Amino acid sequence: MIYDLIIIGSGPAGVSAAIYAARQKLNLLVISKDMGGQVAKKAVDIENYPGFDKISGPNLIKIFEAQLQTNKVEVVFDEVLKVEKPFDSAQGAPIFKVATALGDNYEALTVVVTTGGDPRPLKAEGEKEFIGKGVSYCALCDGPIFRDKTVAVVGGGNSGFETALFLSNYVKKIYILEYGNKVKADEENQKIIANNNKTEIITSAKVLKIEGDTLVKSLTYEDMAANQQKTIEVEGVFVEIGYSPATAFIKDMVDFSERDEIITDLETYSTRTSGLFAAGDCNKGKYKQIVTAAGEGAKAALAAYDYLLKIKK
Ligand SMILES: Cc1cc2nc3c(=O)[nH]c(=O)nc-3n(C[C@H](O)[C@H](O)[C@H](O)COP(=O)(O)OP(=O)(O)OC[C@H]3O[C@@H](n4cnc5c(N)ncnc54)[C@H](O)[C@@H]3O)c2cc1C
């Protein structure tokens, strides 16, 4: 069977795309490694998604999943390994072929990629243990919890500096820790932070461990310039050392940013391959949030619908 649309991923972008596509009566399939993406793994409550003052990630995903069922969306749990669009002689037109890890092959007229990605972890001792207990990968989401506290931002690039600037609205003091012997943020960001009296920059810092009891209490790093171990007392650690979009499986079909994010048209979320759309955190974009991912998913699905109307004519 040739689907109208295959959606890859079932985080907020994929779920939203699926709801919109189902309501347009598209014959669609969702293929995803899991249900819920990053939200399902979130350790602390979500407080910035409209409709809920506070909701846990797993509970929000249960609601998303129920809405997929109400809309009778078919979901297959599998990993997509490759997407191609060869000419199909039986159809007399190119058709998307989607190959998965379980060895299945699916066909579709359009594809929406919503595979998100993951923040790069530090791989320091205690990091995993304290996720949601002081360790965060999302200042926009968790920053307000750290009001009047001392925190560390790990990463001295633009993301780290912008995170520090955002946190300075709430926290008492911020250490920015940079692995290299100088920070990598651009001059403008450096100037802004230099005028921010809450921030202290520590370079040549290799984070070794994060410690605490029920919550984070301190961070120990190696001062590589002085060849010494040092400990700072912090109640929060924000990790800003990069993000890995899950986009390798479409590498020949789309354009990428320098961070391997998919570049799309900002109105239709179309890529350079006609019929292939992308939405959410896998896309180039600064504000990676549940609500923005869901919005992009809806727009990509509607754009896929418009595209189908044109090609079916
Ligand atoms: C710790 C943390 C806390 C956060 N807190 C908040 C918050 O409070 N509020 C907020 O708005 N945002 C928060 N965010 C950000 C938010 O979770 C993301 O912006 C959002 O989940 C992005 O949605 P998405 O659908 O684009 O991608 P994702 O949620 O990453 O979903 C991607 C989906 O694609 C699937 N997938 C990936 N590769 C493949 C493949 N090859 N084949 C099949 N399936 C695949 C994954 O399994 C997953 O289902 C947080 C993020 C983190 C990491």
Query: What is the residue extent of each domain of the chain?
Result: 2-118+243-312, 121-239
In this predicted structure, what is the pLDDT of residue 35? 95
Write the CA distances from 27 to 65, 81, 176, integer angstroms: 18, 22, 49
Is the C-beta atom of 138 inside 6 A of ligand 1?
Answer: yes
Across the chain, what does the average pLDDT equal?
95
In this predicted structure, what is the pLDDT of residue 141? 85
| Per-residue buried b or exposed e for 123-160, using 16+ beta carbons within 10 Å of the residue's own CB | ebebbeebbebbbbbbbebbbeebeebbbbbbbbbbbb
Is the C-beta atom of 34 inside 6 A of ligand 1?
Answer: yes
What's the CATH fold of domain 121-239?
Answer: FAD/NAD(P)-binding domain (3.50.50)
Cα-to-centroid distance, 10 and ligand 1 (Å):
9
Is the C-beta atom of 80 inside 6 A of ligand 1?
Answer: yes
Q: Does the pLDDT at position 65 exceed 90?
A: yes
Ligand 1 nearest atom to the CA of residue 117, by list position: 30
Is the C-beta atom of 232 inside 6 A of ligand 1?
Answer: no
Comparing 254 with 92, which gets the higher pLDDT?
Answer: 254
* Per-residue pLDDT reduced to its tens digit, 136-194: 999 988 999 999 999 999 999 988 998 999 999 999 999 999 999 999 998 999 999 99
* Per-residue pLDDT reduced to its tens digit, 81-125: 999 999 888 888 899 999 999 999 999 999 999 999 988 999 999
Is the C-beta atom of 114 inside 6 A of ligand 1?
Answer: yes
Nearest to 30 by CA among 64, 83, 74, 68: 74
Which CATH code fits 2-118+243-312?
A: 3.50.50.60
Ligand 1 nearest atom to the CA of residue 31, by list position: 43
Nearest CA to ligand 1 atom 37: 115
Average confidence (pLDDT) over 5-23: 98
Is the C-beta atom of 119 inside 6 A of ligand 1?
Answer: yes
Ligand 1 nearest atom to the CA of residue 131, by list position: 1
Nearest CA to ligand 1 atom 13: 289
In this predicted structure, what is the pLDDT of residue 67? 97
Is the C-beta atom of 39 inside 6 A of ligand 1?
Answer: yes
pTM summary value: 0.85
Mutate-to-test residue for ligand 1 from 65, 106, 115, highest number of ligand atoms within 8 A of CB: 115
In this predicted structure, what is the pLDDT of residue 233? 98
Asked if the domains at 2-118+243-312 and 121-239 fall in one CATH topology, the answer is: yes
Cα-to-centroid distance, 194 and ligand 1 (Å):
33
Q: Does the pLDDT at position 43 exceed 70?
A: no
Is the C-beta atom of 14 inside 6 A of ligand 1?
Answer: yes
Nearby residues of 110 by Cβ (< 8 Å), 6 or more positions away: 4, 5, 6, 96, 275, 276, 277, 304, 307, 308
Long-range contacts of 213-221 (CB under 8 A, 24+ apart): 214/133, 215/130, 215/133, 215/134, 216/130, 216/133, 216/134, 216/135, 219/152, 219/177, 221/177
Q: Does the pLDDT at position 45 exceed 70?
A: yes
Is the C-beta atom of 122 inside 6 A of ligand 1?
Answer: no
Nearby residues of 36 by Cβ (< 8 Å), 6 or more positions away: 10, 11, 57, 58, 60, 61, 64, 65
Q: Does the pLDDT at position 62 exceed 80?
A: yes
In this predicted structure, what is the pLDDT of residue 133? 96
